[in-house]
Structure 1
Amino acid sequence: MADQLQLSVFSDVLATLVAEAGAAVVSVHSKHTRGSGFVWKDGLVITSDESLGEGDISVQSADGVAKPATLVGRDASTNIALLRTDTGNAAPTRFTAKLPRVGALAVAIGARDGAALPALGMIAVSGPAWRSLRGGAIDARLELDVSIRREAEGGLVVDAEGAALGMAAIGPRRRTLLIPAETIARIAPILETKGRVPRGYLGLGLRPVRLDATQQTGAIVIHVDADGPGARAGVHQGDIIEAWDGQPVASIGSLLRGLGADSVGQAIVLGLRRGGAQLPVNLTVGERPAA
């Protein structure tokens, strides 16, 4: 009987946690997609960029009323999109900057037609910062041991105290990843003011090339934008980039992933090979033009 009572108390605590934290969670509908989001600030909702389709967007809260939303900005590299809509009396999400330990309980809370859609799990991975496949800087590697439903992507993940750890996202092989609170706090204000996150820009078209028999790779320049940073620095078509600020170029992907928001305006030295001779070139990273 005592064990049953403890289980009942635990169940009630979880239900209360979901009800309280889930009050900020909404359904996000676009033309062909269904996802979740949460109130970040009055009138602003954060959702998953990957789960957000094109066309008209609506947001539905627990009262069942669907309200139109407009896209403020989105950043595919960190999977964060920001919407403007009527958030009513919903209180903004309370985040914690504290990283959870592996094995700590966590609840992913999405929404279906405005109603909470929770999943209980544990923190399976709690690791250092990493870069997404699209080059975004993610401040901590957090994974849950539980799968979430597709329409729950973009919802909240909260700890046992109800504080939000971050946004739920579906990663490769349907792993449940968290976009941590620190990343949201860094990216969302930029989207609110600029609509997009600036990215570094070289103005160079690159292709991988093997340098010598040691298997070392470089990047051969196959195109130079006339008004780009590379052209201004004197980079020529046919040049081979061997090093970036003194470090060998491991791959074009790693080079491009380094062109995040913090790279704009950075002065770097490209180690070039031109006609068999090595040539250092000073280049200032520009800002990628809006698509």
Structure 2
Amino acid sequence: MKKTEHNLRVPDIHAWGLPQGTKSSNIIKLMLMSGVAVVSLGGCSFLSARTFENQSNNPQSEIATQNTNNNSPALTTPAISSSSATDPNFVVAVVQKVGDAVVRIDASRTVQSRRLPADPFLRRFGNPGLSQPRQRVERGSGSGFIINSSGQILTNAHVVDGADSVTVILKDGRTFDGKVLGEDQVTDVALIEIEANNLPILPIGNSDTLQPGEAVIAIGNPLGLNNTVTSGILSATGRSSSEIGVSDKRVDYLQTDAAINPGNSGGPLLNSRGQVIGMNTAIIQGAQGLGFAIPINTVQRISQELITKGRVDHPYLGIQMVTLTPEVKSTINKDARNRLNITANQGVLLVDIVPRSPAFAAGLKSGDLIQSINNQPVTKIEEVQKLVEKSQIGIPLQIQVERNGQVISVAVSPAPLPARTQG
């Protein structure tokens, strides 16, 4: 880690992630900005290649979003008879009513590479005459669901990221060329469109009122097996991105034990009434019964911006931070290289400040300990992440920090997250 004003060092922690072999029981999670780090996750746009696997058949994945734009075709809700998890056939009833609105999405992209000379000497000096360009086509498959009858469909951004062509296949077998209207890498939400009318759509639920234990249904195309239905329960809500190992995302995930496999990404997670409550998007490799979905309320918010602006502007501060724990405090105070003595027992410690960022311009410094934002106490990086994500660009945040034993207030105006950090 590079030196800062306080020469702050956190042993065994990399600036952009965690060292290999670090156990989850004692790791110190570092997150850049207020939740979106410039992190390379094994070359994959969504999940850590070391710990996670994508929900598609190639380095693409999948999420969902809903059309709430008043200028867009009206979203109609199909009539769904009251079904309940107490009915042994409630899954059948839901699938019969809404299954036609779940689609398969095939994407392909052309990747160019250069064939290096066999001779190490020539490779070293890059002889262009012996380095022949070549192309290969990468193909992947995921899921999505229709949000209005005129052809708008939600899926994960990583399903269509960099795609040269997108094909949408309906349950009835019809095939359409898809056009990407917008995508947001920070939440992994994408919106695509096909030229069609009178399409079936999915009704939208409310993910803010969900409780663990509720019955849920997943529909998608895992491993190329179209129109696959699985069911289970909602295992947990509010799983932070850092908890599941994707700290460059700004999402609090739903957890489910409904079977999810590569290809399910972008497909809907439904409640017992057939309403979409989330978008299946992640699994933990090697685990069983650990699937994750983006809450539909988050998807709706992101999709609204994609519809109106074609992009999503996320508030950005430009800080790298770590939750202060007794272990972190002890480690830093014992390291003679740190010109810093931490006396507080809790808070969010600033490890580094991005040059020319809003935090840098406002005067935040490495070694500052955030204690509150707009008078709301914070003790974890996840709390800072949520408050900044809910803030407005250009509207100052009053951040109270402890610096050299004194508490001071610093006004930081969030800026739009730089595009280069969204990849």
Residue 201 to residue 193, structure 1, CA distance change in 2 (3 Å): same
The equivalent residue for 2:143 is 36
Question: Residues 85 and 213 of structure 1: is their aligned pair in 2 closer, same or farther, counting only changes over 3 Å?
Answer: same
> In structure 2, what is the equivalent of residue 151 of structure 1?
263
Query: Match for residue 187 of structure 2?
Result: 78
Match of 2:413 in 1: 284
Cα deviations by residue, 1:42-74 (Å, 9 ceiling, x for unpaired)? 321111234444312221112323322122222
Residue 248 to residue 159, structure 1, CA distance change in 2 (3 Å): closer
Cα contact 2:157–2:184 (8 A) shared by 1: yes
Residue 167 of structure 1: aligned partner: 279
Q: 1:143 to 1:271 in 2, by over 3 A?
A: closer
Q: Give the alignment partner of residue 45 of structure 1, picking from 128, 145, 153.
A: 153
Q: Which residue of 1 aligns with 2:291?
A: 176
- Shift of residue 283, structure 1, vs aligned partner: 2.2
Deviations 1:184-212 (A, max 9, x none): 2222111212233221223x465779441
CA distance in 2, matches of 1:10, 1:220: 53
Which residue of 165, 177, 202 maps to 1:68? 177
In the alignment of these two chains, the number of paired residues is 273
Give the counterpart letter for 1:187 in structure 2.
I
Residue 189, structure 1, aligned to residue 304, structure 2: yes
Say whether the 8 Å CA contact 1:221–1:241 is kept in structure 2: no
String of CA shifts for 1:98-136, please: whole Å, max 9, x gaps.
7455444322111366941111222333x4x45433352
Q: What RMSD in Å do the two structures reach over aligned CA positions? A: 3.5
Native 8 Å contact 2:216 2:234 kept in 1? yes
Distance 1:111 1:145, change over 3 A: same
Q: Is the alpha carbon distance of 1:70 and 1:171 closer, same or farther for their aligned partners in structure 2, counting shifts above 3 Å?
A: same
Task: Note the 1:140-289 alignment, pairs <5 A.
Answer: 142-172=254-284, 173=287, 175-202=290-317, 204=318, 206=320, 210=332, 211-212=340-341, 214=343, 218-221=349-352, 223-225=354-356, 228-230=357-359, 232-233=361-362, 235=363, 240-243=367-370, 245=373, 255=384, 258-270=387-399, 280-289=409-418
In structure 2, do the counterparts of structure 1 residues 282 and 69 end up closer, same or farther at CA, with 3 Å as the change threshold? same
In structure 2, distance between residues paired with 1:93 and 1:44: 12
TM-score with structure 1 setting the length: 0.75
User: 1:144, 1:278 → 2: CA distance?
Assistant: 42
CA contact (8 A) 1:58 1:69 kept: yes
Q: Which residue of 1 aligns with 2:22?
A: none
Indicate whether 1:23 and 2:100 are aligned.
Answer: yes
Question: Aligned equivalents of 2:213 and 2:385: distance in 1?
Answer: 35
Q: Note if 1:136 corresponds to 2:250.
A: yes
The whole-number CA distance in structure 1 between the counterparts of 2:367 and 2:269 is: 45
Q: Residue 6 of structure 1 corresponds to which residue in structure 2? A: none
- TM-score normalised by L of structure 2: 0.54
More strand by share: 1
Given the superposition, is the C-alpha separation of residues 40 and 272 from structure 1 closer, same or farther in structure 2, using an over 3 Å criterion? Answer: same
Indicate the larger mover: 168-177 or 144-153: 168-177
- Give the 3-state SS of the residue equivalent to 1:259 in structure 2: helix
**Partner letter of residue 153 of structure 1?**
S
Q: 1:280 to 1:53 in 2, by over 3 A?
A: closer
SS in structure 2 of the partner of residue 262 of structure 1: coil
Q: Per-residue deviation at 1:262?
A: 2.8
Q: Is the 8 A contact 1:63 1:114 kept in 2?
A: no
Aligned twin of 2:235: 124
The 3-state SS of whatever aligns with 2:281 is strand
One-letter amino acid matched to 1:181? I
Q: Secondary structure at the match of 1:197?
A: coil
Cα distance change on mapping 1:212 and 1:145 into 2, 3 Å: same
Greater relative contact order: 1 or 2 (C-alpha under 8 angstroms, separation 6 or more)?
2
Q: Is the 8 A contact 1:39 1:93 kept in 2?
A: yes
